Chains A and B, each alone.
Chain A
Amino acid sequence: MKGVGEAGTIASTPAVVNAIVDALRPLGVRDVTMPCTPERVWRAIEAARGVSQDAAAQHQARQSDQTQGNSPRSVQSGPIDPSGETA
C-alpha cells in the first residue's frame, strides 16, 4: 500500500504544464520542459516566434548548465541565499 496517497497528486504536475502549454499554444508553443521556470517559458515563446534563432539551442545548453551547476554564483548562492545577501 506504500505511496498510495500520492496517486491523487500525480496528475497535478501534468495538469499545470498542460495549462501552460495550452495558454501558449496561440503563440505556436507545443512544449515547455519542466520545471516551467519563467526563463524556460520565455525561451519557449521566443523560440516559437523565431525572434531568437538560436533560442532553442540555448534552451538545451541552459539545461545542461543547470545540471552541472558550475557557475560562479552557484557556489555562493546555495548556502548564502537563505541567510541573505548583505553585510
Chain B
Amino acid sequence: MIPASFDYVRPGSLDEAIAALADGGDDAKVIAGGQSLLPLLRLRLAYPELLVDIGAIDELTGVTSDGDSLLIGARTSHYQVMHDPLVREHCGLLAQATGTVADPAVRHRGTIGGSLAHGDPAGDLPAVIAALDGVLVARGPAGERQIPAGDFFVDYLTTALEPGEILTGVRVPKLGAGWGYRYEKFHRTAQAWATVGVAALARRSNGQIAEARVGLTNMGTVPVRATAVESAVAGAEASAGAITAAAAAADEGTQPPADLHGAPDYRRHLARVLTGRALAAAAGV
C-alpha cells in the first residue's frame, strides 16, 4: 500500500533535527533505517505529517569507548554493531544478539537506536539492553537525558522518549573477564521475530555463578528481567542441575502475549527452557 502523504526533512545536524522535530510537534516522527516505520506507514498504521530523517547526521553513528562503558550511536546499523571490534571485545552479548535480528538486508538498513526507540517487546535488542543494564541517551529541546533501560520501556511500542526528543545513543557496560553470555532465540523461520528470546549474562567464580542477569524478549508488553531466576542462581553451583532448577522461575511475573506464534502457556514453557539453555551457555556449563 502507498503511505499517506507526509513532509520530509533531512537535517545535517542533531540540533537542526531537534528543531525540526519540535516544529512538527506530535505529528512528527524520526526515521532512521525505516525498517519498522516504513511498513507501518505502508499499512497506514502510522500517518505522521512530518518525517525527520536522521540519516545524514554522522555524529549519531559509531561506537566509542568511554571508561567502563561503550557508547553506541543510535544510527549505528545492526551490521556495524555486529562487526564492531569494541562491541565484540567488550559486549559480546550485544554482537551475538544483533546477529539474530531479522535478515541481512534489515541488518544493513536498520539501526540499534531505531530498534530501541520502536520499543517492540518482540524485538531482540530491548531485552538485551535490559539485561545489560544499558542506559539510553536522548536529546531534546530541554537538553540531554540519561534513561536507564528499566525506565525506558514503558508499554507496548511506547518508550519514555518525550515528543521532540531524539534517541542519540545507548551506553552499555564493558563486560569484564569472567562474564559469559548467550542470546537464545526461538522462532520458526530465520528472519521472524522471537516467539520468545532470552538474553543471559553470567559471571563465574570458583565453580559458582557469582552473578547473573536475564532479559526476556516477547514475554510481556515490555522487555522483562527474570529477577526470580537472577536471585535463585546467584551463588549457586555452576551445574546443569542448579541452572535448570533456577530457570524454572523464568516466567514468574511475566504476562506473555497470545498470538499466532504461541499461546501464553507455551511461551512460559519456552522461557523456562530457553533460560536454562542461555544460562548454561553463559556460565560455561
Contact = CB atoms under 8 A, between A and B. Distances in A.
Interface of A: 37-39, 42-43, 52, 58, 62, 65-66, 69, 71-74, 76-77, 79-87
B207 interface: no
Classify the secondary structure of A's interface with B.
Answer: helix
Contacts of B191: 81-82, 84
Contacts of B11: none
A85 B258 contact: no
A45 to B, nearest CB: 10
B33 interface: yes
Contact of B266 (A42, A79, A80, A83): A42
A84 B105 contact: yes
A78 to B, nearest CB: 9
18 contacts: A38-B188, A58-B265, A62-B263, A74-B259, A74-B260, A77-B260, A80-B40, A80-B43, A81-B192, A82-B191, A83-B38, A85-B101, A85-B110, A87-B33, A87-B111, A87-B115, A87-B117, A87-B118
B73 to A, nearest CB: 14
A66 B262 CA distance: 10
A42 B259 contact: no
Contact of B106 (A39, A72, A73, A86): A86
Contacts of A87: 31-37, 110-111, 113-115, 117-118
A71 B125 CA distance: 23
Contacts of B122: 73, 85
Contacts of B128: none
Interface residues of B, number: 46
B119 to A, nearest CB: 10
B75 to A, nearest CB: 10
A80 B257 CA distance: 18
Given A43-B266, A73-B122, A85 B261 contact: no
